[in-house]
Amino acid sequence: MKNYEKMIHEWLKSQQQNGVRLLTKLVQQASTQGNEAKAQAIVIEKCRQLGLEIDIWEPDGEQLREHPYFVSVRTDFSNSPNVVAILRGMGGGRSLILNSHIDVVPEGEVAQWEDEPYSGAVKEGKVYGRGASDMKGGTVSFLLALEAIRALGIRLKGDVIFQSVVEEESGGAGTLAAILRGYKADGAIITEPTNMKLFPKQQGSLWFRITVHGKSAHGGTRYEGVSALEKAQIALAELQKLELERNARIVDPLYQHIPIPIPINVGKIEGGMWPSSVPDRVVIEGRMGVATNETVEMAKQEMERCISVINETDEWFQTHPVELEWFGAQWLPSAIDENHPLVAVLVDAYKCVKGETPTVEASPWGTDGGLLSQVGQIPTIVFGPGTTAVAHHPNEYIEIDNMLTAANILALTIIHWCEIAEKGESGA
Amino acid sequence: MKNYEKMIHEWLKSQQQNGVRLLTKLVQQASTQGNEAKAQAIVIEKCRQLGLEIDIWEPDGEQLREHPYFVSVRTDFSNSPNVVAILRGMGGGRSLILNSHIDVVPEGEVAQWEDEPYSGAVKEGKVYGRGASDMKGGTVSFLLALEAIRALGIRLKGDVIFQSVVEEESGGAGTLAAILRGYKADGAIITEPTNMKLFPKQQGSLWFRITVHGKSAHGGTRYEGVSALEKAQIALAELQKLELERNARIVDPLYQHIPIPIPINVGKIEGGMWPSSVPDRVVIEGRMGVATNETVEMAKQEMERCISVINETDEWFQTHPVELEWFGAQWLPSAIDENHPLVAVLVDAYKCVKGETPTVEASPWGTDGGLLSQVGQIPTIVFGPGTTAVAHHPNEYIEIDNMLTAANILALTIIHWCEIAEKGESGA
C-alpha cells in the first residue's frame, strides 16, 4: 500500500461521525419527486466547503421533451435543481463523472416503518430512513472521497465531475439534462446500491399500464357480467410467462447469481367501483426489465406481442381488447466490457482496500447509466454501498461501514483513474 | 275474466304514455345514496294526486344504529326521506305492503353508456337509464296499479301500504325505518327486477373487505419482496372454492335454473403505490350471497373459517395474516312457503293477465324482503317487471310492456288479497 493510500484510509476512519451526520441531514429531507431542493441545498453547501466549481440549474422541460429518451411525467422542474460540482484537474489525465441521484421513492405504508420514514436514525452501525441506501449513502461516499482527496492536498490531472441529479426514480431526466448541458467524461461511476458489488452492466426498464375491460353486472347475478378482475388474471398470468421466457434467455455469466435478471414487476392494481357490482375495468401498472443486450424498443415489442396474442385468442378480448401503454419512467440498459480499464481500476482499488476480489455482476435494475453510456457515450460502472434488499422497502437503511469503505475505494479509484499531478504540473 | 278485471286491463292499456312519462321523470333524478329527495318529490306528488294518506320522514340514524340489523355507512339521513302512502281500506280485509326503493347504484364507467346514464330515453319499447329496472319501473307498476283501482272506483277492505324507501342498495335502512315506524301488514310485495318471475325466497348478502399484506421491495429485485397482489391470488382462489362449495349444497328446486344461487362477487380491488415497487398491500371488497336456509351469522362464520385456514397454512400469512372485515351493506335472506296464500293470489293474478303459469324461483340477490320477513314478520314475495341482466349495468333499461303487465297483475293481486268491499260496507 502506498503512503497516500494509507493516509486516505486513516483520514476516512477519522471522518465516520461527520459522514453519518451528513447522511442523516440528507435523509431527513424527504426528497421525493418535486421536493428535492432542500436536500440539494445540503449537497451544495458541502461542495462549497470542498471548494468545488458549482453549477446549479433547473432542467429545462421544454428542451428535454424534444429528446427521444425523455420520459418524465412532468416538464416543470421548478424547485428541482440539478447540481454539478467539479474538482478541476491540472490537465493531461482522464476525467471521471461521479453520478448520484438525490430523489427518493415514496415511503409506502408508514405503519410498516419502525421509526418515522425520514428519521435518519442511527442504530447499531446503520443509518435508517427512505433514501439511505437508494442512494444518499452513495452520495455521501462520493463527497467523503472528494473530501479525503482535498484534505490530503492531492492534486489530480483529470477533472472529477460530481453530479447530484433529480428524477432518477422517474426515468433519468436529471442525468439527461446534465448530458445535454455538455457534461462528458472518460468514465462514470454511479453509487447506486450494489451492496459493494461491481455492475459493469445494468438492465434497463420500462413502465407499463395495462387496462382490462369487463362488463358490469349486479353481484348477485355476476354470471351475467364479465369480471374485469377475472379477465385481468389472464393478462397477469401472461406477464408471468413472459418474464419466465425472457429470463430463460439470459446466459450472461454476470447474471448467474440473480434469481430473476430482468423481472416484470406488477406494482399497482385498481379496479371496480362497488362491492356488489361486477368490476368493469381493472388497471395494472408495472415495470419491465430490459436486458443489457436488447433495446427498449425490442422489449416493448415483446410485451406488445404478448398482449396481442391474448387479444386474438381470448374470445372476450377479441371484442374488448386489453390495452397496453408505455408511460412514466424508462431506463435504458447499459453495458461496458468487463475488461474496460475503468473496471480494472475499480477492481484494483477494491482489492487494495478490502484485501479481496469484488463480485462483478449485472444489475437487476436500471440506472442513469443507460443515459450516460447510450446518450452520453460515457463508459459507466455502478458500484455503491447500499443494498437493494432494503431500497424501496420500509425500514430502509445503510451500513455505515460500507459507506466509509466505499468512500475509500472511490477515493483510490478517482486517484488512479485521474492520476496524481506531479508538483509544478498545475497551470494554476 | 270478471268485469273489473277487463276494465283494469283496458284502463292500464290507455295509460301507457302516462306511465312512461312518470318513469322518465323518476329516472332523470339521479337518486344515488344521499340524493333521493328529488325523486321522492315526484313519488309524493303522484301519491297526492291519487288521494293517498301520505307519511314522509327522514329515518332517525341515532335510533336505527341501535338495531342489530342496521348496516348503513351513514346515520345522517337528511334529505333522504322515506315515503309511505296508504290507500285505506273499509275494514275486514287483509292488508298489503307494496315496497319499492328509490335509491340507485352509481352509473359506473360513463363511456360504456350509449346515452347519458340518467337520460330516461325511450327507444323501441324500452325506457333507458340507471334505475329503470332496479327499480323505478317497479315503483311505477305499483303506482299504476293503485291508480287503476282508484280510477275505476274500486273500494277495498284491507289497507294497501305503498312504501318508497331509501337505502336499499346499501343494506335496507329505509325499509328498517319503516318497520320500526310501525308499518305492518298481512303480506308484502317488492317489485325488484325479477323479470316477471315470482321469488318467494330471496338470498341474503353481506359486504366484506379483505386486506392482504406483502412486503415492499424494488421492482428490479422483486424476489426480495413479497407481492401482496400475488398473495391476494391465494385469497381470491379460496373465495372461488368457497363459492363452489356453498353453491354445491343448494338443493332447493327454486334455485335449479340459477347458475350460481349464492355468488361471492369481488367488486373492487386496490393495491400498490408505485409501478416499480412490489405492492405491500391489496384490499379486496365484495359481496357474499346468503342462502335462504342459513343466517347471515352462519355465512360470516364460513368465510371467516376459510380465511383462518389460509392464515394457518400459508407460511407468509402465518406471520402476516389476511384480515377480513364485514362492512357497509347487508341484506337478510327471506323465505315464505311456496304454498302461502299470497303466492297463490299472485300466481292466479299472473295467470289471469298472462294466460300462463309464472316461473317461481328463488332470487340470486338480497332484497329488503329479509327485513320485512325477519324483522317485520311480514310474509313477503318479490315480483317485478325489470331484469337483473341490466340492473347495475351500463345501458340499464326496462321494457315498457312488462311494466304495464306487472301493474295489471299487481292491481288484481291487491284486489284479490285485500278484497273488494261491498257497497255500504264503508264506514266513511
Q: What is the mean pLDDT of residues A10-37?
A: 97
Choice between A269 and B365, residue whose per-residue pLDDT is larger:
A269
Do A46 and A143 meet the contact criterion of CB atoms below 8 Å apart? yes
Instruction: Check CB contact under 8 Å for A329 and B203.
Output: no
Q: Would the pLDDT of B424 be above 50? A: no
**In 3D, which of B167, B168, B186 has the Cα closest to residue B369?**
B168
Q: What is the pLDDT of residue A424?
A: 47
Q: Within 13 A of A5's CA, how many CA atoms are on the CB side? A: 13
Residue A376 has which C-alpha cell? 452520453
**In 3D, which of A22, A30, A267, A21 has the Cα closest to residue A130?**
A30
Do B157 and B314 meet the contact criterion of CB atoms below 8 Å apart? no
Percent of chain A exceeding pLDDT 70 equals 98
Q: What is the mean pLDDT of residues B334-356?
A: 96
Q: In what order do the strands lie in the sheet with B264-271?
A: A323-331, A204-213, A281-290, A264-271, B264-271, B281-290, B204-213, B323-331
Q: What residues in A contact B329, CB-CB < 8 Å?
A: 275-276
Using CB atoms within 10 Å of the CB of residue B224, give its burial: 0 to 12 exposed, 13 to 18 middle, 19+ buried. buried
Instruction: Check CB contact under 8 Å for B365 and A219.
Output: yes
**Strand A323-331 to strand B198-202: parallel, antiparallel, or no bridges (unpaired)?**
unpaired
Q: What residues in B contact A217, CB-CB < 8 Å?
A: 388-389, 392-393
| H helices, E strands: number in chain B | 12, 16
Q: Provide the b/e sequence for A308-331 (b: ≥16 CB within 10 Å).
A: eebbeebebbeebbbebebebbbb
Q: Measured on CA atoms in the order A309, A313, A319, A321, is the torsion positive or negative?
A: negative
∠ CA A384-A385-A387, nearest 5°, is: 95
∠ CA A297-A298-A299, nearest 5°, is: 90
Round to whole Å and give the CA distance between B100 and B368: 9
Range from A71-75, A311-315, A357-361 carrying the lowest mean pLDDT: A71-75
Q: Please confirm whether the linkage preceding B135 is cis (ω < 30° from 0).
A: yes
Round to whole Å and give the CA distance between B389 and B395: 11
Three-state DSSP string of B175-227: HHHHHHCCCCCCCEEECCCECCCEEEEECEEEEEEEEEECECCEHHHHHHCEC
Residue A151 has which C-alpha cell? 484534505
**In 3D, which of B67, B159, B232, B144 has the Cα closest to residue B411?**
B144
Round to whole Å and give the CA distance between B277 and B383: 51
Q: What is the pLDDT of residue B425?
A: 43
Question: How many residues in total does chain A contain?
Answer: 428
Instruction: Check CB contact under 8 Å for A216 and B366.
Output: no
Do B271 and B283 meet the contact criterion of CB atoms below 8 Å apart? yes
**In 3D, which of A343, A413, A12, A1 has the Cα closest to residue A197?**
A343
Q: Which of B112, B258, B265 to mutate to test the interface with A (most CBs of A within 10 A)?
A: B265
Q: Which helix (H) or strand (E) holds B363?
A: strand B360-363
Task: Give chain B's end-to-end CA distance (angstroms, integer).
Answer: 30
Q: What is the pLDDT of residue B422?
A: 76
Do A86 and A156 meet the contact criterion of CB atoms below 8 Å apart? no
Q: Would the pLDDT of B1 be above 80? A: no
CATH topology of domain A205-329: Alpha-Beta Plaits (3.30.70)
Q: What is the pLDDT of residue B423?
A: 62
Q: What is the pLDDT of residue A423?
A: 62
Instruction: Check CB contact under 8 Å for B271 and A275.
Output: no
- pLDDT, tens only, A371-397: 999 999 999 999 999 998 888 889 999
Do B103 and B169 meet the contact criterion of CB atoms below 8 Å apart? yes
Q: Report yes or no for ipTM above 0.85.
A: no
Q: Which residue has the cell 292466479?
A: B348
Q: Please confirm whether the linkage preceding A135 is cis (ω < 30° from 0).
A: yes
Residue A404 has which C-alpha cell? 466509509
- pLDDT, tens only, A392-403: 889 999 999 999
Q: What is the mean pLDDT of residues A144-154?
A: 97
Q: What is the mean pLDDT of residues B210-231?
A: 94
Per CATH, domain B204-331 is 3.30.70.360: yes
Q: Would the pLDDT of B358 be above 90? A: yes
Helix ranges restricted to H, A112-184: 137-151, 173-180
Q: Would the pLDDT of B83 be above 50? A: yes
- pLDDT, tens only, B151-209: 999 999 999 999 999 999 888 999 999 999 999 999 999 999 999 999 999 999 999 99
Q: What is the pLDDT of residue B330?
A: 86
B329 three-class SS: strand
Strand-pair partners of A211: A283, A323
Round to whole Å and give the CA distance between A3 and A12: 14
Q: What residues in A contact B287, CB-CB < 8 Å?
A: 219-220, 275-276
Task: Give chain A's end-to-end CA distance (angstroms, integer).
Answer: 30
**In 3D, which of B201, B203, B306 has the Cα closest to residue B263?**
B203
Do B368 and B172 meet the contact criterion of CB atoms below 8 Å apart? yes
Round to whole Å and give the CA distance between B402 and A347: 83
Instruction: Check CB contact under 8 Å for A265 and B220.
Output: yes
Q: Which residue has the cell 379477465?
A: A231
Q: What is the pLDDT of residue A198?
A: 96
**Residue spans per domain, chain A:** 3-202+333-418, 205-329
Give the DSSP per-residue string, B268-288. Answer: EEEE-S-TTB---EEEEEEEE
List the catalytic residues of B. 103, 168
* Position A62 confidence tier, pLDDT thresholds 50, 70, 90: very high
Identity of the amino acid at A387: T
Query: Which one of B216, B271, B287 has the shortest CB-CB distance to A276?
Result: B287
Round to whole Å and give the CA distance between B396 and B129: 5
* Position A38 confidence tier, pLDDT thresholds 50, 70, 90: very high
Instruction: Check CB contact under 8 Å for A276 and B394.
Output: no
- DSSP annotation of A32: B
∠ CA B410-B413-B417, nearest 5°, is: 145
Q: What residues in A contact B227, CB-CB < 8 Å?
A: 265-266
Q: Measured on CA atoms in the order B360, B361, B367, B373, is the torsion positive or negative?
A: positive
- CA quadruple B21, B27, B29, B32: dihedral, nearest 10: 160
Q: Provide the b/e sequence for B243-259 (b: ≥16 CB within 10 Å).
A: beebbeebebebbeebe
Helix ranges restricted to H, A249-392: 296-313, 315-319, 341-354, 369-370
Query: Which one of A208, A366, A388 has the shortest CB-CB distance to B224?
Result: A388
- DSSP annotation of A20: H
Arithmetic mean of pLDDT over chain A? 95
Residue A33 neighbours by CB distance under 10 Å: 18
Arithmetic mean of pLDDT over chain B? 95
Assigned superfamily of B3-202+333-418: Zn peptidases (3.40.630.10)
Q: Would the pLDDT of A109 be above 90? A: no
Q: Would the pLDDT of B313 be above 50? A: yes
Choice between A330 and A131, residue whose per-residue pLDDT is larger:
A131
Q: What is the pLDDT of residue A178?
A: 98
Q: What is the pLDDT of residue B427?
A: 38
Q: What residues in B contact A276, CB-CB < 8 Å?
A: 105, 205, 207, 265, 267, 286-287, 329, 392
* Position A428 confidence tier, pLDDT thresholds 50, 70, 90: very low
Q: Within 13 A of A360's CA, how many CA atoms are on the CB side? A: 21
Q: What is the mean pLDDT of residues B99-125?
A: 95
Round to whole Å and give the CA distance between B305 and B290: 16
- pLDDT, tens only, B376-390: 999 999 999 999 888
Instruction: Check CB contact under 8 Å for B392 and A217.
Output: yes
Give the closest-approach CA distance of B33 to chain A in angstroms.
13
Round to whole Å and give the CA distance between A19 and B391: 65
B108 three-class SS: coil
∠ CA A38-A44-A45, nearest 5°, is: 95
B264 three-class SS: strand
- pLDDT, tens only, B269-288: 999 998 989 999 999 999 99
- DSSP annotation of A195: T
- CA quadruple A174, A179, A183, A188: dihedral, nearest 10: 80
Q: Which of A168, A222, A363 to mutate to test the interface with B (most CBs of B within 10 A)?
A: A222
Q: What is the pLDDT of residue B338?
A: 86
**In 3D, which of A181, A222, A208, A191 has the Cα closest to residue A57?**
A181
